[in-house]
Structure 1
Amino acid sequence: MFEDRIAELNGVSKTAPNKKSYTVAEIRQILGISRPTAYKLINQNVFQSVRLNRGIRIVKSSFDAWLETRE
C-alpha cells in the first residue's frame, strides 16, 4: 500500500534493492511537507535519523514504521 507509493515517488521498481535510508528531500516528497516541517519531525525524534557530514539520513525502517502508524 504505502510501500508502492514510496517506490513510485523514489522512482524505483519493486524489484530494485531496498533502500536503507531516506534523505530529507525524499521524506518531504513522500509526506508532501515543507522543509521546516521535515526538520521539525527530525528534531522531535519521531523516527531515527543519522547526521552524516553535512546531511541527514532517515533510517528507512524507522520512518516506514512511523508512517504505517499514521495511516
Structure 2
Amino acid sequence: MSYKGKKTYTVEEIAEQLDISKKVAYSLVKSGQFSYVRAGKAIRVSKVSFDKWLNEI
C-alpha cells in the first residue's frame, strides 16, 4: 500500500507497517509514543510523528 501524500495513518495501517496485530497497534498508539487524534470512534495517527518515531527505533 502506498502511504505517499497522506498526513495521517489509521491504526490498521500502523499494524500493517509494523507487521503486528491491530490489538498491539492500538496499545502502541495509546502508549503516547507518537501523536494521534480521535475523531469520534476513529483514531488517526500523525504521519510525521509516527515516521519520526519509527526512524528513531
CA distance in 2, matches of 1:55, 1:47: 16
Aligned to 1:37: 24
- Give the TM-score of the pair, scaled to structure 2: 0.89
By how many angstroms is 1:42 displaced? 1.1
Percent of pairs with identical residues:
42
Identify which of structures 1 and 2 has the higher relative contact order when contacts are C-alpha pairs closer than 8 Å and 6+ apart: 2
1:50 aligned to 2:37? yes
Aligned to 1:4: none
By how many angstroms is 1:50 displaced? 0.4
**Which residue, out of 2, 11, 32, partners 2:2?**
11
Bigger Rg over Cα? 1
Which structure has greater helix proportion? Answer: 1
Which structure has greater strand proportion? Answer: 2
In structure 2, the gaps of 5 or more residues are none
In structure 1, the gaps of 5 or more residues are 1-9
